[in-house]
Amino acid sequence: MISENIFRAYDIRGIYGLDLDEKTAKQIGKALATYTDGENKTFVVGRDVRLSSKPLSDALIDGMISCGLNVEDIGMVTT
């Protein structure tokens, strides 16, 4: 079950391995696809320099793609 505490007005934030992991990120990706209906939409995903960012963004993208979203992974970006 996903903790409600990770959802903020402006982002999703939690402690890696405690509040947020790859399974959670994939579920969020699927939920985003469901929420937006996914049709003809392309989403851009970027990440910061933390070691946890790559596996989390990969899982998020996997969830999004598995539900039909188009995703552009722009890799590491400034935040």
Domain assignments of the chain as residue spans, ordered by start:
4-76
Label residue 37 left, alpha or beta by phi (over 0 means left) and psi (-120 to 50 means alpha). left
**pLDDT 10s digits, 31-63:** 998 898 767 789 999 999 999 999 999 999 999
Pairwise CA distance, residues 26 & 33, whole Å: 11
Closest C-alpha among 47, 61, 62 to residue 16 = 47
CATH number of the domain located at residue range(s) 4-76 in this protein: 3.40.120.10
The predicted structure's pLDDT at residue 38: 62
The predicted structure's pLDDT at residue 18: 94
Q: What pTM was computed for the model?
A: 0.90
The mean per-residue pLDDT over the stretch 52-76 comes to 97
